[in-house]
Structure 1
Amino acid sequence: MKRVTGIGGIFFKCEDPEKQKEWYAKHLGIDSGEYGATFEWREKDDPNQIGYTAWSTFKADSKYFFPSTKPFMFNYRVENLKELLKALKDEGVTVVGEVEEFEFGKFGWIMDPEGNKIELWEPNDENYLK
């Protein structure tokens, strides 16, 4: 079973998310909307398949990263979230919460040994930007 297939997103907390988005747009060219920016790319083994990576700022007091106290969270793309979460749990990895499903994919969360919350995303890229 494949595990991580790519980076799905980079999320970080900041005191002023709007100011951060403006700075990143001005200096690095990352234009973002309400939920951040989206980078489109093509699958290496199937160039007809489009994928997306998200970049988002969060308020410093956001609870989305809980139980982690870290100011960042990585999102990794996976192929079969439910099977992977079962395997990780069997390996002793801490699974956080329940799988959540949306039109653009399924999400699950785990904790690494240093308390970093990791979001796992089984994407439905066809619906991601609808």
Structure 2
Amino acid sequence: MNDTAGPRITGLGGVFYVAADPEATRAWYRDMLGIDGEYGPQLAWSDEPKPNPYSLISHFKDDQYIKPGKGGFMINLRVHDLDGFCKQLKAKGVKVLDKADEGYGKFAWILDPNGVKIELWEQVAEELP
């Protein structure tokens, strides 16, 4: 979209939640997932190699998809080379709960040190849903 489209939402600005030890949580995201920033893990869209990248806000009737995560929410992170990234995580001692290939994308799930479920997603389809 260009600037002439008028005021609008342009993307996900962040995910915020309470952690007992924010510094340790930031260190885990830096050391295990390789994302860091002054106020917490920071992601730049300019780093995304796939065409037509997008973010999603999705709603569920119950927490079955979120389990075994805590807090009634989950964080979805885009990943380039999901299989290679999961190998790196396993080498660091991070347990990959499950993996799936849904055709439009490949997925894997882990828990952060606070029990928050993280869905890792490699966009496969180039067209927007």
TM-score by length of 1: 0.58
Residue 55 of structure 2 is aligned to residue 53 of structure 1? yes
> Cα distance 1:54–1:48, how it changes in 2: closer, same or farther (>3 A)?
closer
Q: Which residue of 1 aligns with 2:19?
A: none
Cα shift readout 1:47-75 (whole Å, capped 9, x = no counterpart): 9931111111112x331011112211110
- The CA deviation at 1:94 is 2.1
Say how many residue pairs are matched.
Answer: 88
* Root-mean-square deviation (Å): 2.7
In the aligned structure 1, how far is the partner of 2:49 from the partner of 2:69?
Answer: 36
Cα distance in structure 1, aligned partners of 2:50 and 2:85: 26
The SS at the match of 2:56 is strand
Larger relative strand fraction: 1
Corresponding letter in the other structure for 1:88: L
Q: Retained in 2: the 8 A contact 1:105–1:122? A: yes
1:6-45 CA-to-partner distances (Å, cap 9, x unmatched) read x7x97xxxxxxxxxxxxxxxxxxxxxxxxxxxxxxxx637
Q: Give 1:77's aligned amino acid.
A: R
Q: Share of identical aligned residues, percent?
A: 42
Match of 1:106 in 2: 106
In 1, Cα distance between equivalents of 2:46 and 2:84 = 24
CA contact (8 A) 1:66 1:117 kept: yes
**1:118 aligned residue:** 118
Q: Which amino acid aligns with 2:89?
A: L
Asked whether 1:72 is paired with 2:78, we answer: no
Identify the residue that residue 9 of structure 2 maps to in structure 1.
Answer: none
Q: Helix, strand or coil for the counterpart of 2:64?
A: coil
Cα pair distance change 1:45/1:67, threshold 3 Å: closer
Change (3 A) 1:121 1:46: closer
Structure 1 consecutive aligned stretches of length 4 or more whose deviation exceeds 6 Å? 45-48
Change (3 A) 1:103 1:127: farther
Q: Which runs of 5+ in 2 are unaligned?
A: 1-11, 16-44
